Amino acid sequence: MTVTTLRRIDENRLEVPKDYKPGMRTSGIIYADRILEGALESGSIEQVANVATLPGIVGASMAMPDVHTGYGFPIGGVAAFDINEGVISPGGVGYDINCGVRLLRSNLKREFLLPRMKDLVNVLYNEIPSGVGSKGKIRLDSAEAEKVLLKGAGWAVERGFGEPTDLEKIESGGCLHGADPSLISKKAYDRGGAQQGTLGSGNHFLEVQYVDQIYDEKAANVLGLFKDQVTVMVHTGSRGFGHQVCTDFLEVMSRAVQKYGIVLPDRELACAPFSSPEARDYFASMKAAANYAWANRQCLMHWTRETFMSMLKLSPGELGMSLIYDVAHNVAKVEEHTVDGQKRKLVVHRKGSTRAFPPGHAELPDVYRELGQPVLIPGDMGRASFVLLGTERAMSETFGSTCHGAGRLLSRHQAIRQARGRAIWREMEDRGIIVKSAGRETLAEEMSEAYKDISNVVDVVHNAGISKKVARLRPMGVIKG
């Protein structure tokens, strides 16, 4: 099957027709302009079609412009299911449950930090635990781990890692209620016990950036952003804990498929009716992992702020480092959406996609209620990241969703092969970006050429009206796992 079987709806959307493959209950929609259409993998198109076969799907099976092939659902996938007739699928959330991004603003300007950048990156690298299997400064016994899973970022704030006001600027207040720690396996607890407050590996990062372009001055002012301002972006998730939760429940869901007679085009779509005991257990466990991730990013933000103050010898007021927002990428939520003129409760799966709620939405904090939800889109370590806002059009077209990043062009193995013989860190330094990582292979896997151009991806969602550009951020220093 090739891209030629798709139908172009407009300059920013392609349709995967309902007759693309047998069993599709609805069509698919892929957000892609003519540039990104050429980068579409046949595998990710197939996965969009596969998701469209799942019971109880409402609206289209969607993929954002950063789409690439994932486990079951494509990464960049969005799909909503009726809470009575539909299903929930771990493949629609992913292994790294609540992998997400938070953005910090500061009072600092780029020119102040530039001569200190190399030293700052070295100190941050020493203070922020990163790398495969990294262990942090926190050790969780079983009682404390349960509190993390129930309270999320609130647990971290209670322990002195941040301020209560931070919670107002985190999606869902940094906690999904209804988590059940008793459902979590010993293996998941063991994997998560020493990884709270760690960055991890792969595409996870802590990046010191500066604001190099503002598209919407009024919105930027509300967010506290200004030209040449230093910002910090943190990208990580639930680490080995969330990975194990997903692994455990894929086995449960594989049995549920047989039990409930669900016919699937791909076993990676293992799922269960949302009303079933299996689904309830997964949903409660997924919430626990999401809360672990929010606590994780909260701790990392706190240590980042402390590192800036101690290394640069600044007071909290002089630094002025505070949270702009924190968004989840890999999560399923029960939300109310208007479908065909009627309000319905749906299980919205966002896998490698970002919530993009519009101005006035009840779930937004008061400070952003009139503005709309901040949307944080990280790019690759060599180009740029973007701040956008959610829109009414996203609410009506994509269940309030947009893209989550640049999206891979090359697999990790392909990137390593292509980088052979190159010193990626030196190439980055020649471009004025200081990079520090746990290993050479990580930098090879994450080099810019391994990703789509973030500017193309963001232009699609902006031009399609499902989120609108506010500011562009350029990297100055990057810590990779």
Does pLDDT of 415 surpass 90?
no
What are the extents of the domains in the chain?
A: 3-480
Q: Which residue has the higher pLDDT, 139 or 362?
A: 362
The residue assigned the tokens 């950048």 is 117
Tokens of 179: 């988590």
Q: What is the pLDDT of residue 382?
A: 85
Q: Is residue 295 within 8 Å of 194, Cβ to Cβ?
A: no
Residues marked active site are found at 404
pTM, 2 dp: 0.95
State the CB neighbour count (10 A cutoff) for residue 74. Answer: 33
Instruction: Calculate the average pLDDT of the chain.
Output: 94
Of 81 and 381, the one with more pLDDT: 81
The answer to whether 234 and 197 are in contact (CB under 8 A) is no
What is the predicted pLDDT for the residue at 418? 82
CATH topology of domain 3-480: tRNA-splicing ligase RtcB (3.90.1860)
pLDDT at 1 over 50: no
Helices of type H across 325-374: none
pLDDT band, residue 135 (cuts 50/70/90): low
Contacts of residue 367, Cβ cutoff 8 Å, sequence gap at least 6: 168, 169, 222
Contact between 164 and 283 under an 8 Å Cβ cutoff? The reply is no
Higher pLDDT, 135 or 289: 289
Between the alpha carbon of residue 35 and those of residues 32, 107, 309, 455, 478, the distances in Å are 8, 38, 43, 11, 28
If you average pLDDT over residues 5-10, what whole number do you get? Answer: 95
As a whole-number percent, the residues of the chain with pLDDT over 90 amount to: 84
The mean per-residue pLDDT over the stretch 48-69 comes to: 98
Supply the pLDDT for residue 140: 87
pLDDT digit string, tens, across residues 118-131: 999 999 999 987 75
Residue 99 has pLDDT above 90, yes or no: yes
> Tell me: the pLDDT tens digits for 460-471?
999 999 999 999
